[in-house]
Structures are given as C-alpha cells and as structure tokens.
Amino acid sequence: MKERTLHHDLDAREMTRLRAFQCIREAGQISRTDIAKALNSSPATVTSACGALLEAGLIRDVEAERTDATQRGRPRVMLEVNGEALAVAGIKVARHAIHVTVVDFKGVEIGSHLSPLAASCMPAEALVMAVRQALDDACEKLALSLDAVAGVALGLPGFINGETGFMHWSSSVRERNVDFMPLFARHLPCPAFLENDANLVAKAEQFFGAGRGLRNFLVVTIEHGVGMGIVQDGQLYRGERGCGAEFGHMKVQFEGAVCQCGQRGCLEAYVGDYALIRDASVGRQGDAYKSLTDILDAARAGDRLSGEVLERASKVLGVALASLVNLFDPEHIVIARLRPRFDEAHTQAMLDALKRNTVQVDAPLPGITVRNLDQKMWARGAAAHGIERVSILKIRARGDQDAA
C-alpha cells in the first residue's frame, strides 16, 4: 500500500501530528478534547501535537460560541486549518487541455485556469514543460506569486505509481516507464506529486462530494478510458506496485476487442469513448464519428448501429460494476461520466444489469450516485491530494527541526 509507504518515514510523534491535522481538516473546526476522543489519544499527546502544528502555521485557534446557553465565561477554543498558510495547485492533464485549480490550505478555491494542449499524447519532458507553462499562466491570471504555491499535484490517466511518481504507461505520454520526479525537479518550482487521475476523483469525492464521511467507497470514471479509485478504510488503495484499481482493463471478453493498452477484451474497449466511436463508425468509411455526442445524436435519429453500441456499452458496464459490488461490497459507488451524459434509458440499462448480476443477499445494494464529471473535479481532487502531501512534508520538516 502506497499510502503506508508514503508515511513510513514519519515517526510515531509525527504520525500523531498528521492524524490530528487530518482530523481537524475533516471536522472543519474541532476542540482538542474532541480530537483526543476521535484519535483515542490522551489530551496531553493531542495538545503537544497541536502545539507543533500551530507553531508550523498549519492550523490556528479560533474562538467558537458556546452552544449551551447556561455555560458562561470563556468562549470555547477550537482549532481549524489555517487556510491562508499555503496555496496548492491541482493539475489535470486532459486530452486537449491542462486544467489548473489553485486552492488555499483549507481547499477553498482561489481560482482556476485552462491551457490548451497542443497534442493529446506527447513526450514526458514536453508535457512537464507544458504543465509548468500552465502553472505560470494560472498564477499570472490569479495575481499569485509562484513562490506562494507550496506544492503541485498532477493527475494523469494510466498506470501510475502515486508514491514514487513513476509512470508505467499513460495514454497522454509517448514513452513508457518514465520516472517523473527528476523531470518535476528540473521544471517545477516546488514539490510535485504525480497521481492516477481516477484516484484524484476519488480524493475529490472524499473531500468534497459523495464520499464525505464514508470509509469504503468506489469511484468509477468514464471518458476516453475507464478509471477507478478505491477508498478502503478511509485510504486510497493502490495495490502493491501502485497500479491497482485498473477497472478499465478488467477483461470482460476472452480475446475480445483491442484496447488502447495493447491487450484485448478490456472493459474500456467496450465502454470508453474511443471504443464507442470506433464501433459505431464501422461501415462509415471516410465518415467516422468524431465524438460521443455524434453517436448519441445518431442513435436518437434512429441509427441502428449507434443505438446497439450504446446499449451494449451500458449493459457491459452494468455487469462489470456488479463484479465490483461482488468483490468489494462497498458502501457506495460513484459513477462519473464526462459529458455528454448518456440518455436516461442507457443509465437504466446499466443499473438493471448491475442489479441482475450482483450476488443476492438479504441486504440493500450499495448506494449509487451517477453524476456528470467535469474536468474541474479532477483538478480539485488533485488539489486535495496536494494538501495532504504538502502537510506530510511540512510535518516531516517540523519533525526534523525538533530533532535538530
């Protein structure tokens, strides 16, 4: 598990500081007493951990009104994340654009920027330089000094090791097996973190969306390809080599359709936008569909093949989602699709296939949220991820200072 290895060089005292920080971030405002209860820790330990976080400027004291009218005297002292302490940039590389969202340390958006991308697949170094340019442009637009950005979190599709920053494969990058960390160090002005983009949507759901307060949930993203983020016991699960949760490459057909990963029979070779465009365009020679919108329009206008391709995709996706329920038994699944949205009938066909293929137990199915996904969700998730990583760096730096 990456999350564990990321934390592995924090000692016990630093881990307590990190857990206290996360507790404050999740709560919004919370008293030291309530942090001690939540962490099952002694008040003295929590007071000491919070003292270090206060000195590092990551949190601050706030006075809260007493809710109990009979209690007079001193107002209750609560803790909250010091939003103005640091700014973090979340960046999502999409096929035709780079989306930058800058947030304060509480996750409140300072602003965002969209930079067009010259090509949907480019050499790694050129991509990092384009990311740097997008970051510079965003800072200029937001009248923010680059020095104020404490960290950058970058989301890419593909097989990414989020802990080490190693990319095994991505549809956005021409080379395979790229160590992004030296490239980041060369071209970016602050610590940078690479992460699989679907994991970032899971982070966004955990921080801001349907995953708030849930311990076990799944997020499935459907766009050009199909991605998934797994949150287990409140943490992202990435697998041993960092490239688990590849739902899009789960095989749904033995020796089936060719996938963009090079293998056959993957889910996204039936459900991803590129697969729908390919399959609905069969027989159209020089007049292939350009986008999913074209296929939806054709199906609505009565084109038989387009209708069949969309219906099959909905059913295949529903069956695959049922396998997820059977494997993980999650509390909730978020299915996030980039525009355009499928028709209601397609969503229903997917949900029906899901229900029919889920192991039958006398308990309700997990909650399902089907939502549109906008590129900003990725960038917000990246920013949330950046806040977590930067807070770990700051806590580690503080620990080193204490030790010196």
Closer residue to Zn ion in complex, CB, 16/172: 172
CB of 261 to Zn ion, least distance (A): 3
**178-179: strand order across its sheet:** 159-161, 166-169, 178-179
42 or 263, CB closer to Zn ion? 263
Q: How far is the CB of 249 from Zn ion (least distance, A)?
A: 4
Whether omega before 364 lies within 30 degrees of 0, making that bond cis, reads no
Nearest distance, CB of residue 269 and Zn ion, angstroms = 6
- For Zn ion, which is the closer residue by CB, 218 or 259? 259
Number of H helices, E strands in the chain: 13, 15
User: 90, 386 in Cβ contact below 8 A?
Assistant: yes
Q: Is the Cβ of residue 83 or residue 265 nearer to Zn ion in the bound state?
A: 265
Q: How far is the CB of 251 from Zn ion (least distance, A)?
A: 8
Residues 191-250 that bind Zn ion (CB under 5 A): 249
Q: With contacts defined by CB under 5 A, how many residues of the chain interact with Zn ion?
A: 5
Rounded to 5°, angle at Cα 114 from 3 and 97: 75
Nearest approach, Cβ of 265 to Zn ion (angstroms)? 8
Q: Could you give the angle at the alpha carbon of 156 between the alpha carbons of 82 and 207, nearest 5°? A: 35
User: Tokens at residue 256, please?
Assistant: 């089936």
Residue nearer to Zn ion on the CB measure, 226 or 384: 226
Judged by CB, which is closer to Zn ion: 158, or 381? 158
Residue closer to Zn ion by CB (options 171, 232) is 171
Percent of residues in the chain assigned helix, strand, coil, to nearest 5: 45, 25, 30
Asked if 2 contacts 161 with a C-beta cutoff of 8 angstroms, the reply is yes
Shortest Å distance, C-beta 165 to Zn ion: 23
91 Cβ contact list (under 8 Å, min separation 6): 98, 99, 100, 101, 131, 134, 135, 152, 153, 154, 155, 379, 382
Cβ at position 403, least distance to Zn ion in Å: 46
Distance CA 186, CA 46 (A): 39
Sign, CA dihedral 167-169-172-178, equals positive
**263 or 291: CB nearest Zn ion:** 263
Binding mask of the shown chain, residues 239 to 278, with x at each position contacting Zn ion by CB under 5 A:
----------x---------x-x-x--x------------
Residue 239 or 367 with smaller CB distance to Zn ion: 239
CB atoms within 10 A of CB 363: 7
What's phi and psi for 34, nearest 5 deg?
A: -70, -30
Nearest to 379 by CA among 90, 93, 89, 88: 90
**Read out DSSP for 301-358?**
TT-HHHHHHHHHHHHHHHHHHHHHHHHH--SEEEEEEESSPPPHHHHHHHHHHHHHTS
Considering the complex, state which of residue 66 and residue 241 has its C-beta at the smaller distance from Zn ion: 241
Q: Does 393 bind Zn ion (CB under 5 A)?
A: no
Rounded to a whole number of angstroms, the minimum distance from the CB of residue 146 to Zn ion is 38
Residue of 263, 192, 193, 194 lying closest to 225 (CA atoms) = 263
Provide CB contacts within 8 A for 360, sequence distance 6+: none
CB of 252 to Zn ion, least distance (A): 10
Name the nearest CA neighbour of 187 among 145, 120, 133. Answer: 133
Q: What is the nearest approach in angstroms of Zn ion to the Cβ of residue 61? A: 51
Contacting residues toward Zn ion, per CB under 5 A: 249, 259, 261, 263, 266
